[in-house]
Amino acid sequence: MQAPQTAEHVANFTLTVQQARLPLGDGETVNSFTINGTSPGPTLRVHQNDLVVVHMINKSPVSTSIHWHGIRVPNSADGVSGLTQDAVPPGHDYTYRFVAKDAGTYWYHSHQHSYDQTEQGFYGMFIVDPIKEASHDDVDATVDLHEWTFGDFRNFRYVQMVNGTAKQQQISATPGQWVRMRLVNTSSNPKLVTLAGAPYMIASIDGHDVNKPSLLTNTAIPLGTGQRYDIRFQMPSSGSVALFRATSTNKFVFEKTPAVVVGQQGASFASPAKGLPWFNLSSYGEPAPTTITPQSKFNASYTLTLNGHMGFENGRFGPMHTIDGEAFPNTPTIMVQEGQVIKLRFVNETDEYHPMHLHGHTFTVLSYNGHAISGSPIVLDTVLVLPHQTVEVAFLADNPGLWMIHCHNLFHAYMGMDMMIVYPNISTPFNVGNSSGNFPD
Ligand SMILES: [Cu+2]
């Protein structure tokens, strides 16, 4: 379960992890992780089918690991501490090797104490350029949506960030140019964004192209943690385009000023209308032939009920987040065999948003609340399950190993909402817990 040693094209990177005091851009300074001196770390950009070799040097005072979110890596390169490796201690290094099989927008982040380390800036973008371009973009920009939180329930404050700063981001573009904006939610809360100034299409979700996407206006796009939406639009003949954002933390009320302005600077925008309809991926784009459909024959189906209760997890008392009534590591394990097609039904019994993420595979969305999707095939690695919603997905088991499936609200994962998908005859020499020092969440 390792990548080949050599390939025609090899993309080599060195990532040095440290800690530093960083200004957020709003007057606040925080203890952040940095990668090669910045947070977020450098964007790693490769070509499809490149052999990627990443040498990670840990100069931070704590142990760590790197997970390649959404990339179908061989199991040994998945970066989950206690499962596919030991966390890398301070002063040590580790090398990840994998082939970037799928084009698209991905990201990387810590999977050791991932709740703390990712929120504290340990992440970066990973972009795989396709062998053959489906469309030409004059401007290619990444918009990473993060947030820092301070205080407790009584005195709570949060700072919304784009690309590592609280300041408004400005992207240059001229009239008539095509812009690809790669939106990535790296915070732990769901985000809502909307674009003003030009009609736009959602070209790709979680790195997988939508078939014949139509143009949208006055639509709010929800992004669960870990999800990526590539939106494309053509710059208008005059004026600029603005991205507004809201978050679950403020009940999805849009900010008054844009987070990102594309084109001419200094233009003023009316803040988005209240109650914009949310983008619905169940009927977007046009149908196309695909290997997994609601009519496929499934080798096994599992219902995963997402719930919670107060209790102890990781030695602290708090809101446990459960799958089938249990918190990790007591959650059920799903056994799969190579070649099987497995259906998963997520039933969200809570008032919260659960972006459910599967490592090492992609899945096809089948239905929402019992209604089969009717538009483009939708292939994801993270599906946002809304409060009291049921979502069915299915995946082909084609990547042997030990894989996590977990909520990507990293606090929920920390409080138990994780489980394992396991292929036969595979064991791990690594352990989770105090004696090993491996804490993947
Ligand atoms: Cu959750």
- Close Cβ partners of 12 (under 8 Å, ≥ 6 residues apart): 53, 54, 55
Rounded CA-CA distance 203/376 in Å is: 11
- The predicted pLDDT at position 13 comes to 98
Rounded CA-CA distance 74/334 in Å is: 19
- The predicted pLDDT at position 2 comes to 80
Q: Give Rg (Cα) of the chain.
A: 21
- Map residue 198 onto helix, strand or coil: coil
- The predicted pLDDT at position 314 comes to 65
Structure confidence at residue 99 as a pLDDT band (50, 70, 90): very high
For residue 3, pLDDT over 90 is answered with: no
CA 311 to ligand 1 center in whole angstroms: 16
pLDDT tens digits, residue range 294-324?
999 999 999 999 999 888 766 778 899 999 9
CA 266 to ligand 1 center in whole angstroms: 38
CA 413 to ligand 1 center in whole angstroms: 7
pLDDT tens digits, residue range 194-231?
999 999 999 999 999 999 999 999 999 999 999 999 99
Q: Region 266-276: what's the mean pLDDT? A: 85
Closest CA to 71 of 107, 119, 124: 107
Q: DSSP per residue over 335-393, as a string? A: E--TT-EEEEEEEE-SSS-EEEEESS--EEEEEETTEEP-SS--EESEEEE-TT-EEEE
pLDDT tens digits, residue range 186-199?
998 999 999 999 99
CA 422 to ligand 1 center in whole angstroms: 22
pTM: 0.94
CA 416 to ligand 1 center in whole angstroms: 9
Rounded CA-CA distance 85/426 in Å is: 14
Do 284 and 210 meet the contact criterion of CB atoms below 8 Å apart?
yes
Residue 104, classified by CB atoms within 10 Å of its CB into exposed (0-12), middle (13-18) or buried (19+), is: buried
DSSP state of 278: B
| Fold designation for 300-422 | Immunoglobulin-like (2.60.40)
Could you tell me the CATH superfamily of domain 10-129? Cupredoxins -  blue copper proteins (2.60.40.420)
CA 354 to ligand 1 center in whole angstroms: 4
- The predicted pLDDT at position 323 comes to 95
Class (C level, CATH) for 139-279 = mainly beta
pLDDT tens digits, residue range 156-170?
788 999 999 999 999
- The predicted pLDDT at position 246 comes to 94
Domain borders along the chain are 10-129, 139-279, 300-422
Structure confidence at residue 84 as a pLDDT band (50, 70, 90): confident
Q: Region 415-419: what's the mean pLDDT? A: 92
CA 107 to ligand 1 center in whole angstroms: 19
